[in-house]
Amino acid sequence: MPDPNAPPRRPTLTGGRIRLAPFAARHLTPDYVRWLNDAAVSRHLEVCSCGHTLASVTDYVRKTLADPNEHFFAMEDPDTGRHIGIIKLECFQAVHERGEISLFIGDTSRHGRGIGTETIVLVAEYAFGALGLTKLVSGCYSVNLASGRAFEKAGFHREAVLRNHYRCEDRWVDGWVYARFAPGRAPEAQAGNRVEEGACPPSP
Ligand SMILES: CC(C)(COP(=O)(O)OP(=O)(O)OC[C@H]1O[C@@H](n2cnc3c(N)ncnc32)[C@H](O)[C@@H]1OP(=O)(O)O)[C@@H](O)C(=O)NCCC(=O)NCCS
């Protein structure tokens, strides 16, 4: 008889440059804690860049894995299996058919090599395919140009600007909301993939 308290099973998603494995105990490493405390990684994340411990991260991971709405993956180098980051898809599935993506590549030597884009594409395919979601969103700081660009390359468009939404390095910065609709699903929602000229002004 299956254990009712066991976390939901997730697939492994495999791309050319990255493998997304369901997050497991082997991914809970001092490296993961160090990434969260490293401002170079987390200064544009909603977690603060300090004070994370193995205990606090373990607690967060335990809660995330127990939540059936969370799909939590470790990014692994497909050749070596090395854990280099995480991506999380939080689903508001039952009613809104929507998911929200957040990610980071903790190993900064891997930034700017197309891995973030491929990771987002893999999760979008999973969300629209296996999970049957209609819309994906992700929020990023307006100063996080690498993130915005990665989402754009993964087929997202900037849907909204949230003025002075985040506090970043002692100043307010806008929030950008990126969105993508599932191809071929909910035709009335597809109009959301087109942003009207001027509807989404650039940040100053
Ligand atoms: C954001 C992040 C996930 C992107 O992943 P990545 O693998 O580095 O991104 P990619 O290589 O796929 O694409 C990045 C794009 O941004 C561009 N870019 C990077 N820095 C840039 C900058 N300062 N200005 C403009 N463009 C920039 C790159 O040139 C590339 O575009 P191109 O292929 O057209 O040249 C990764 O850098 C990361 O984890 N950063 C730290 C945590 C974080 O910010 N997470 C996201 C929170 S929303």
Structure confidence by residue, pLDDT tens digits, 122-163: 999 999 999 999 999 999 999 999 999 999 999 999 999 999
pLDDT per position as a tens digit, 166-190: 999 899 999 999 999 998 876 666 6
Contacts of 198 (CB under 8 A, 6+ apart): none
DSSP one-letter code for 95: H
Which residue, by CA, sits nearest to atom 29 of ligand 1? 112
The rounded mean pLDDT for the chain is 91
Is 37:100 a contact under the CB 8 Å cutoff?
A: no
Q: Residue 27, by phi and psi: left (phi above 0), alpha (psi -120 to 50) or beta?
A: alpha
pLDDT at 95: 87
pLDDT at 144: 97
Q: Would you state the CATH architecture of domain 13-193?
A: 3-Layer(aba) Sandwich (3.40)
pLDDT at 62: 96
**Ligand 1 centroid to residue 30 C-alpha, Å:** 24
pLDDT at 185: 75
Pocket test for ligand 1, best of 35, 111, 166 (most atoms within 8 A of CB): 111
Structure tokens, 103: 């990610």
**Ligand 1 centroid to residue 146 C-alpha, Å:** 3
